């Protein structure tokens, strides 16, 4: 796995926010996609943000008209469906060819059914513009997200993220990264994620690889600053193997991550006892976690 060319730029980047989103043209989520687009447009109109968003439309019938989208969105289509990891890597390739990583300040990965409340993008961008040593910021998400200015001071003030807080809250929708850190981290692991051999874990794996290489420094807001449907409890077991794999891969490089990997094993035992995780799935997760210590991110 080769990383994208590393860059060094600060607050005077040509592009403020570089966004990567994938959507299923046959999935019936056009309304959700429009909501996400409107939330970004609002930030552009109100605050003058310079945004480039790459959008991959999967299962898009050749010849089918593209949806009407703003000029800041660069659309590409494929007729089949690929894993989330592979989809994001395809978009990374396009941004690399356009040399956008070298000219952008911040990167985010909003799902097509996520959205940004007023002030979220502006606040995250300000963090990176004001602190050249900061590469990672996270927050929570919710189906009823908070508008930052309306929060109490303690919730709208970023704080250092402990490893536990980072692991618990870093997801594709809540992870914001300096573009140069993305370039150094490289591509998503295509063996992980929805539609991949190991279900889930691609977001956590990517976030942890960046977190460890950034010296385990990140800040977070203990508030839902991104809109997205609320998680279901059953997802913990469904994506257990991928999450444990991601933790195990970075555990050797971080004592804090190692502790969270151990905690994840205990969570697995708890789910096993509650019959929310079957023994074959738990056993497979442990075997995969052991192999993760010697693996490198894969790309097909």
Q: What is the pLDDT of residue 3?
A: 46
Average pLDDT over residues 116-125: 96
Q: Is residue 9 part of a domain?
A: no
pLDDT at 6: 36
CB atoms within 10 A of CB 265: 16
Q: 298 in a domain, yes or no?
A: no
Write the CATH number for 120. Answer: 3.90.550.10
What 8-state DSSP symbol labels residue 103? Answer: G
Q: Is residue 3 part of a domain?
A: no
Q: Is position 228 within any domain? A: yes
Range of the domain at 203: 15-292
Six-digit token pair at 261?
């990997």
pLDDT value, residue 293: 78
Quick one: pLDDT at residue 295?
77
Is 8 within a domain?
no
Number of domains observed in the structure of the chain = 1
Q: pTM of the entire structure?
A: 0.91
Is 108 part of any domain?
A: yes
Q: Where is pLDDT greater, at 10 or 32?
A: 32
Any domain includes 187: yes
Q: How confident is the model at residue 112 (pLDDT cuts 50, 70, 90)?
A: very high
Strand order from edge to edge, sheet including 136-142: 73-77, 51-58, 15-24, 104-108, 175-178, 136-142, 219-227, 159-160
The predicted structure's pLDDT at residue 149: 86
Q: Percentage of the chain with pLDDT > 70?
A: 94
| pLDDT score for 12 | 52
Task: Name the pLDDT band for 28 (thresholds 50, 70, 90).
Answer: confident
Hey, how many other C-beta atoms are within 10 angstroms of the C-beta on 222? 17
Tell me whether residue 1 is in a domain. no
**Mean pLDDT value across residues 116-142:** 96
């Amino acid at each position: 796995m080769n990383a994208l060319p590393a860059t060094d730029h600060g607050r005077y980047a040509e592009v403020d926010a570089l966004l990567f989103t994938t959507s299923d043209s046959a999935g019936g989520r056009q309304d959700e996609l429009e909501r996400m687009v409107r939330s970004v447009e609002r930030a552009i109109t109100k605050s003058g943000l310079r945004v480039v968003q790459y959008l991959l439309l999967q299962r898009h019938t050749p010849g089918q008209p593209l949806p009407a989208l703003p000029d800041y969105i660069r659309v590409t289509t494929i007729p089949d469906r690929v894993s989330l990891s592979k989809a994001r890597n395809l978009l990374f390739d396009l941004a690399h060819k356009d040399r956008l990583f070298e000219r952008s300040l911040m990167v985010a990965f909003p799902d097509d059914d996520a959205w940004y409340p007023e002030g979220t993008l502006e606040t995250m961008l300000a963090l990176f513009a004001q602190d050249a040593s900061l590469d990672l910021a996270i927050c929570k998400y919710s189906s009823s997200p908070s508008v930052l200015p309306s929060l109490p001071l303690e919730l709208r003030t970023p704080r250092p993220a402990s490893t536990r807080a980072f692991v618990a809250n870093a997801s594709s929708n809540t992870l914001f990264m300096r573009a140069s850190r993305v370039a150094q981290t490289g591509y998503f692991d295509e063996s992980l994620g929805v539609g991949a051999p190991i279900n889930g874990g691609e977001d956590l794996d990517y976030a942890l690889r960046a977190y460890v290489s950034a010296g385990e420094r990140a800040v977070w807001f203990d508030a839902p600053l991104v809109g997205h449907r609320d998680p279901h409890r059953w997802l913990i077991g469904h994506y257990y193997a991928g999450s444990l794999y991601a933790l195990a891969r970075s555990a050797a490089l971080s004592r804090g991550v190692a502790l969270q990997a151990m905690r994840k094993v205990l969570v697995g035992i708890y789910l096993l006892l509650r019959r929310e995780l079957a023994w074959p799935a738990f056993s497979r997760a442990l075997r995969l976690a052991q192999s993760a210590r010697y693996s490198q991110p894969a790309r097909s």
